[in-house]
Amino acid sequence: MSNARKPVIGVISCTRTVEGEDAYIVKTRYVDAVARYADAVPVICPVVETLDDARAMVDRLDGILLTGSNSNIESVRYGAIAGRGPFDPTRDWLSAMLIEAAMDVGKPVFGICRGLQEINVALGGTLVDQRDGLDQPYLAHHAADGVTLDEMFAHGHKARLVAGTPMASIVGSPDIAINSVHYQAIGTLGAGLMVNARADDGVVEAVSSSDRNTPILAVQWHPEWRPAERPHDLAFWRAIGDMARAQAAR
């Protein structure tokens, strides 16, 4: 490890009711993964009211991590008539502003699960709900209801990396076994994104930016869940740390 300044990565928060009032929260496994496996300093980002405030926040960071969440993105944000909750409109607002602010200055944007979907929507893409009986036969991308966390994150399938993409280079293998804990998935790909990995049913499992001046790396699975057990997830976190360090060095 070099003597360069340790990078600071902003971790988006969700809004939940705690003890009868609104609270900005993030699950500790995301924050801990940034510190332990990306070797960066995590800072939790609360909701701000304006894009200028989001820009002021991003100016002081070396990257943004958009985490997974129990909530879905409101369908109005990607042009759909109806969608399934639970929703978190303040999280939708915050993610859109952080993505815009980071992209305006070329700072890295990282996404996990909902975070991948937020990036796709921010760039004009759409989402589909895999429970809506679409013609395409989807894999089961979520465990059955009522299972433990261990059982939920043990559910998964294989993903195939697209040769020549950043994730393929990071992982170093054409196929990986991933956990799968989501109902929504990318429908139409957002402008400026390229697919890095797909499941056997075609669901997009990883994306990056096609513009080298706009560093984006996002996955649909959950690399923050016990990453020490999976080399490709450790590699993902190392890549996040390296990208943030490169930004800090500038």
Angle at 150 between CA 147 and CA 156, to 5 degrees: 85
Q: Is the pLDDT of residue 3 over 70?
A: no
Question: What is the reported pLDDT for 1?
Answer: 45
What integer is the mean pLDDT of 214-243? 97
The catalytic position among 14, 113, 118, 205 is: 113
* 1 found inside a domain: no
Spatial separation of the C-alpha atoms in residues 180 and 140, rounded to whole Å = 8
- The confidence band for 5, taking pLDDT boundaries of 50, 70 and 90, is confident
How do residues 97-141 score in pLDDT, each as one tens digit? 999 999 999 999 999 999 999 999 999 999 998 666 554 556 789
How do residues 36-89 score in pLDDT, each as one tens digit? 999 999 999 999 999 999 999 999 999 999 999 999 999 999 887 667 779 999
Cα atoms found within 13 Å of the Cα of residue 59, Cβ hemisphere only: 6
Question: What is the reported pLDDT for 131?
Answer: 65
Spatial separation of the C-alpha atoms in residues 199 and 203, rounded to whole Å = 5
The model carries a pTM of 0.94
The answer to whether residue 224 is catalytic is yes
The catalytic position among 141, 182, 222, 232 is: 222
Question: The CATH number of the domain where 14 resides is what?
Answer: 3.40.50.880
What integer is the mean pLDDT of 18-22? 96
* 153 found inside a domain: yes
Q: DSSP assignment, residue 221?
A: S
Question: What is the reported pLDDT for 2?
Answer: 52
The answer to whether residue 74 is catalytic is no
- The confidence band for 95, taking pLDDT boundaries of 50, 70 and 90, is very high
What's the gap between Cα 142 and its chain centre? 17
The catalytic position among 45, 118, 205, 224 is: 224
Question: What is the reported pLDDT for 150?
Answer: 94
* 148 found inside a domain: yes
Domain count, the chain: 1
What is the torsional sign of CA 24, 91, 42, 151? positive
* 239 found inside a domain: yes
* 3 found inside a domain: no
Provide CB contacts within 8 A for 213, sequence distance 6+: 106
Q: What string of DSSP letters covers 78-142?
A: GT-S---S-B-HHHHHHHHHHHHHHHHTT--EEEETHHHHHHHHHTT--EEETTS--SS-----S
* 225 found inside a domain: yes
Provide CB contacts within 8 A for 135, sequence distance 6+: none
How do residues 160-217 score in pLDDT, each as one tens digit? 999 999 999 999 999 999 999 998 999 999 999 999 999 999 999 999 998 877 899 9
C-alpha distance from residue 19 to each of 16, 23, 54, 85, 89 (Å): 10, 9, 28, 22, 20
Angle at 209 between CA 206 and CA 212, to 5 degrees: 140
* 161 found inside a domain: yes
Domain encompassing residue 69: 8-249
* 209 found inside a domain: yes
Question: What is the reported pLDDT for 48?
Answer: 94
CB 111 within 8 A of CB 215: no
Which amino acid, 168?
Answer: A
What integer is the mean pLDDT of 14-24? 96
Cα atoms found within 13 Å of the Cα of residue 8, Cβ hemisphere only: 9
The answer to whether residue 113 is catalytic is yes
